[in-house]
Amino acid sequence: MGPKPTMPSSGDLYRSRLDQCHELFRLAGLIDWDRFDREFGRFYRPLGRPAKPTRLMAGLSYLQPTFNLSDEAVVQRWVENPYWQWFCGCEYFQHELPCDPSSLTRWRNRIGPEGLEKLLTATIQAGLATGAVRPTSLERISVDTTVQPKAITHPTDAKLYLKALQALVRQAKRHGLKLRQTHTRLAKRAAVQVGRYAHARQMRRMQRQLKRLKTYLGRVYRDVARKVAGDEGLSSCFASLLGLTERLLTQERTSKNKVYSLHAPEVVCIAKGKAHRPYEFGSKVAVAVTNREGFVLASKALEGNPYDGHTLNATVDQVMSMPSEFSSEVPK
């Protein structure tokens, strides 16, 4: 169900209003929040529990990257900061969390990349309205690519094998599949031994335990694949996990398109030539900014690890697709 509309309040004697002179208060007055209700209203159903206000979710989506916070940290700090609450549409101080941190992830997935571009467009309009960016600055832009690190642990074969086995066993129990043997206890013990032998530089013993752990995963994988083969519903439920497990079992040291994380299979290993961090695990991102003020005009996540020069056209096309009210200043 769609969010409830925010009703104007006449005031309260016992509570302090938040409409004070602050940069977030001034910025909130420059953003057309009703536009988000119109743009994102199609993502809500007319029935069910009322959703969180669109301004609240959009405001949290602005605050999180601005202060470089996680989903959990941004909702915790929201309770402590009255100006953040005003920016998100609250007239009075709140003492409870605005939403569950997982709601931010679901909201971003719901609006998709197009919705996030609309949020970015609103910031460009606010920058032009306040003079933070001049219209003539849009005539020349700078495009660069960087790595957006993902919140994943350092990938090792032992960690990936153990997590894949545990994920298969959990999903099998969830759907009522009775496996011949889960190997969870033996697999966990083998993963611990791999870490101990690697620390002691006993590589032959480490490889022996790693091979045993891979064997346990292969047994569970084949057992699950046999039991879901004749059921279309179960096959669709297990297709993604079984596909990742198959890639994990077949990949070698020199393989391409390797799996580095089960919960984020899009992660790739990128070498950017940094002395303190030779390799980074994440996604490549292209960013376009104004050449004078450094104001962000476009940001695009790229699949895989393309060459930096090949990402220029896609980023420029995204800048060219900006709304007509200020796209006339963009270089043709």
User: Mind listing the pLDDT tens digit for each residue in 36-70?
Assistant: 988 888 888 777 788 889 999 999 999 998 998 99
Looking at the fold, whether 89 and 165 belong to one and the same domain comes out as no
Whether 147 is in a domain gets the answer: no
The single-letter code of the amino acid at 34 is D
Please give the model's pTM, rounded to 2 decimal places.
0.75
If you average pLDDT over residues 169-191, what whole number do you get? 95
Q: How far apart are CA 9 and CA 88, in angstroms?
A: 16
Higher pLDDT, 174 or 2: 174
Q: Are 127 and 66 found together in one domain?
A: yes
One domain, residues 38 and 127: yes
The pLDDT of residue 14 is: 64
H or E stretch at 53: none
Measured between alpha carbons, how far is 115 from 107 in angstroms, rounded to an integer? 10
Instruction: Look up the domain containing 95 and give its range.
Output: 23-132
Measured in Å, how far apart are the chain's first and last C-alpha atoms? 43
- Domain assignment present for residue 296? The answer is yes
Q: Is the same domain home to 243 and 272?
A: no
Q: Say yes or no: 276 and 236 in one domain.
A: no
42/109 same-domain check: yes
Tell me if 146 sits within 8 A of 308, measured CB to CB: no
CA distances from 283 to 7, 129, 149, 268 (A): 42, 33, 7, 6
- Please check whether residues 244 and 278 belong to one and the same domain: no
Check whether residue 52 and residue 125 sit in a common domain: yes
pLDDT, the chain, mean: 88
Domain-located, residue 1: no
Q: What span, in angstroms and rounded, lies between the C-alpha atoms of 72 and 275? A: 31
pLDDT at site 249: 95
Is the residue at 262 inside a domain?
no
- Residue 242: which residues within 8 A CB-CB, separation 6 or more? 168, 221, 224, 225, 228
Residues 173-184 have a mean pLDDT of: 94
Q: Left (φ > 0), alpha (ψ -120 to 50) or beta: where does 175 sit? A: alpha
Residue 332 has pLDDT above 60, yes or no: no
In a domain, 195, yes or no: yes
Number of domains in the chain: 3
Last residue of some domain: 132, 149, 183?
132
Contact 30, 129 (CB under 8 A): yes
User: How many other CB atoms are there within 10 angstroms of residue 93's CB atom?
Assistant: 14
Question: Is the domain of 169 the same as that of 89?
Answer: no
Asked if residue 138 is part of any domain, the answer here is no
pLDDT of residue 189: 97
Q: Return d(Cα 63, Cα 51) in angstroms, integer.
A: 20
List the Cα angle 93/94/97 in 5-degree steps: 150
Which tokens is 300 given? 């695009």
pLDDT of residue 9: 56
pLDDT bin (cut points 50, 70, 90) of residue 187 is very high
Do 84 and 123 sit in the same domain of this protein? Answer: yes
Q: Do the domain assignments include residue 7? A: no
Q: Do 117 and 55 fall within a single domain?
A: yes
Same domain (yes/no): 191, 291:
no
Among 250, 276, 292, where does a domain finish? Answer: 250
